[in-house]
Chains A and B, each alone.
Chain A
Amino acid sequence: DAKTTQPPSMDCAEGRAANLPCNHSTISGNEYVYWYRQIHSQGPQYIIHGLKNNETNEMASLIITEDRKSSTLILPHATLRDTAVYYCIVTTSGTYKYIFGTGTRLKVLA
């Protein structure tokens, strides 16, 4: 079973920040949080990942709570091309298996 829960859908206005939450309350100390997105009928695309510190790259920021039981993916200026299903995944550095949850379907509105 997936170790993450996410809201099924969200809307965001174009140009505004999109904040996508993820709950991973059973995460253990050696498990990373990865975020991917899947645009319709394509393979998932990597966005960002983290262990316990907040992370930022050219695509997004990842905020992980101090207890590591939840995280938020932030797309700072959403565009129409960011419309996709976003998956939050918890995985260990040993197996690297990804067990996908249901994800959040983000719709960016013009």
Chain B
Amino acid sequence: GAVVSQHPSWVICKSGTSVKIECRSLDFQATTMFWYRQFPKQSLMLMATSNEGSKATYEQGVEKDKFLINHASLTLSTLTVTSAHPEDSSFYICSARARDRGFYEQYFGPGTRLTVT
């Protein structure tokens, strides 16, 4: 099946700095990728839809200037958390939409745990 990777798997950064998280589709091309955020013991919250070659579409309440998304190629989307603060500490998960077994589904990456100190 389709594989999605994320890098890094975990990162610690100081408050006020920016952090970039990469999401790659390893064996397929993905025109659409999604970014989610998950706080401890909570469900996944969709942040934005990333389309290759165009601007991302952000969900209501998500600051687009704080969470910069770039989908420059069919296999790579990046999420940059700018001027990170401790409240941005969370588990960030990406997914890529693919038609692998005759139907569309989202393949999820393993997640990136961000801790802002």
Contact = CB atoms under 8 A, between A and B. Distances in A.
Given A96-B32, A98-B34, A98-B46, A43 B105 contact: no
B45 to A, nearest CB: 7
Interface stretch (A18-26, A65-73, A76-84, A99-107): A99-107
A95 B46 CA distance: 13
A102 B43 contact: yes
Nearest to B91: A41
A1 to B, nearest CB: 11
Interface of B: 4, 32, 34, 36, 43-46, 49, 91, 93, 95, 97, 103-111, 113
Contact of B97 (A44, A45, A96): A96
Given A41-B91, A43-B4, A43-B93, A96 B111 contact: no
Contacts of A97: 34, 46, 49
A60 to B, nearest CB: 14
The secondary structure that dominates the A interface is loop
A103 B111 contact: no
A44 B109 CA distance: 8
Q: Which among A38, A41, A45, A98 has the greatest number of chain B C-beta atoms within 10 A?
A: A98
Contacts of B91: 41
A96 B105 CA distance: 8
A95 B113 CA distance: 27
A2 B44 CA distance: 11
A41 B111 contact: yes
Leading 10 A-B pairs by shortest Cβ distance: A43-B108, A100-B44, A100-B43, A44-B108, A43-B110, A46-B105, A43-B109, A43-B93, A102-B43, A43-B111
Given A34-B105, A96-B104, A42 B111 contact: yes
Contacts of B104: 93, 96
